[in-house]
Structure 1
Amino acid sequence: MPLAALLRRALWWTLLTLTGGVERRGRLPRGGCVVVANHSSHADTAALLAALDARHAPAIGAAADYWFASPWRRRICSRLAAGFPVRRTGGGTADLLARSADLRAGRAVVLFPEGTRARDGELGAFHRGALVLAQEAGVPVVPAAIAGTDRLLPKHGRLRPALVRVAVGTPLPASATPEQARDAVAALHRRTTSEPLADSRVRKRVAAVAGARIGPALGFAWACAEALSWPLMPELFLAVACVAVPRRALKLSLAALAGSLAGGLLALHLAASGVQLPQPLTTDRMRAEVRQELSAESAAAVRHQPWNGIPFKVYAREAGRADVAPSAWLAHSALSRGSRTLTVGLACGAFGFLAHRKRRCYGGYLALLGGGFTVALTLIVTGWS
Structure 2
Amino acid sequence: MPHRGCVVVANHSSHADTAALLAALGARHRPAIGAAADYWFASPWRRRVCRVLAAGFPVRRTGGGMDDLMSMADGLRAGRAVVLFPEGTRAADGAVGAFHRGALVLAERAGVPVVPVGITGTDRLLPKHGRLRPSLVRVRIGEPLPPSATPEDARAAVAALHARTGTEPPRDSPVRRRVAAVAASRWGLPLAVAWACAEALSWPLMPELLLGIVCVALPRAAPRLSLAALAGSLAGGLLALQLANTGHQLPAPLTTDRMRVEVRHQLAAESASAVRHQPWNGIPFKVYAAEAGRAAVPAGDWLAESARARGARTLTVGAAFGTLGLLLHRFRLYYGVYVALLGAGFAAGLSIIVVGWS
Using structure 2 for the length normalisation, give the TM-score: 0.88
Q: Describe how 1:188-227 pairs up with structure 2 within 5 A.
A: 188-192=161-165, 194-227=167-200
Partner of 1:24: none
1:267 corresponds to 2:240: yes
Partners in 1 of 2:45 and 2:98 — Cα distance?
Answer: 31
Change (3 A) 1:273 1:88: closer
Partners in 2 of 1:256 and 1:231 — Cα distance?
Answer: 15
Partners in 2 of 1:78 and 1:301 — Cα distance?
Answer: 52
Q: CA deviation at 1:376?
A: 2.2
CA contact (8 A) 1:35 1:144 kept: yes
Partner of 1:253: 226
Deviation by residue 1:126-182 (Cα, 9 ceiling, x = unmatched)? 11122222233443322223344445555456x533436242242252243312322
CA contact (8 A) 1:32 1:139 kept: yes
Change (3 A) 1:377 1:71: closer
Partners in 1 of 2:300 and 2:204 — Cα distance?
Answer: 26
Change (3 A) 1:224 1:78: closer
1:163 corresponds to 2:135: yes
Partners in 1 of 2:317 and 2:277 — Cα distance?
Answer: 17
Q: Secondary structure in 2 aligned to 1:110?
A: strand
Q: CA deviation at 1:91?
A: 4.1
Q: Describe how 1:70-109 pairs up with structure 2 within 5 A.
A: 74-109=47-82
Deviation by residue 1:94-137 (Cα, 9 ceiling, x = unmatched)? 44344334334433221111223333434432111222222334
Partner of 1:37: 10
**Aligned partner (choices 342, 366, 374) of residue 315 of structure 2:** 342
Q: CA deviation at 1:318?
A: 1.4
Partners in 2 of 1:275 and 1:90 — Cα distance?
Answer: 81
Q: Secondary structure in 1 aligned to 2:9?
A: strand
Partners in 1 of 2:106 and 2:129 — Cα distance?
Answer: 31
Change (3 A) 1:231 1:76: closer
Partners in 2 of 1:279 and 1:350 — Cα distance?
Answer: 32
Q: Secondary structure in 2 aligned to 1:160?
A: coil
Partners in 2 of 1:153 and 1:196 — Cα distance?
Answer: 14
**Which runs of no fewer than 5 residues in structure 1 stay unpaired?**
1-27
Partner of 1:126: 99
Partners in 1 of 2:217 and 2:324 — Cα distance?
Answer: 10
Partner of 1:324: 297
Partners in 2 of 1:73 and 1:225 — Cα distance?
Answer: 49
**Aligned partner (choices 72, 75, 83) of residue 110 of structure 1:** 83
Change (3 A) 1:135 1:166: farther
Using structure 1 for the length normalisation, give the TM-score: 0.82
Q: Describe how 1:227-306 pairs up with structure 2 within 5 A.
A: 227-306=200-279
CA contact (8 A) 1:172 1:181 kept: no
Partners in 1 of 2:55 and 2:299 — Cα distance?
Answer: 61
Residue 342 of structure 1 aligns with an amino acid whose one-letter code is: L
Partners in 2 of 1:95 and 1:269 — Cα distance?
Answer: 73
CA contact (8 A) 1:148 1:162 kept: no
- What do you get for the CA RMSD once the two structures are aligned? 2.6
Q: Secondary structure in 2 aligned to 1:139?
A: coil
Q: CA deviation at 1:65?
A: 4.6
Partners in 2 of 1:262 and 1:90 — Cα distance?
Answer: 65
Q: CA deviation at 1:204?
A: 1.7
Q: CA deviation at 1:290?
A: 0.9
CA contact (8 A) 2:134 2:326 kept: no
Q: CA deviation at 1:241?
A: 0.8
Q: CA deviation at 1:72?
A: 6.0
Q: CA deviation at 1:288?
A: 0.3
Q: CA deviation at 1:238?
A: 0.6
Partner of 2:353: 380
CA contact (8 A) 1:29 1:171 kept: no
Deviation larger for 217-226 or 172-181: 172-181
CA contact (8 A) 1:47 1:164 kept: no
**Which runs of no fewer than 5 residues in structure 2 stay unpaired?**
none
Q: CA deviation at 1:84?
A: 2.8
Partners in 2 of 1:72 and 1:265 — Cα distance?
Answer: 48
Partners in 2 of 1:167 and 1:82 — Cα distance?
Answer: 20
Partner of 1:19: none
Partners in 2 of 1:113 and 1:225 — Cα distance?
Answer: 59
Deviation larger for 134-143 or 259-268: 134-143
Partners in 1 of 2:149 and 2:189 — Cα distance?
Answer: 57
Q: Secondary structure in 1 aligned to 2:280?
A: helix
Partners in 2 of 1:318 and 1:70 — Cα distance?
Answer: 60
Partners in 1 of 2:72 and 2:283 — Cα distance?
Answer: 67
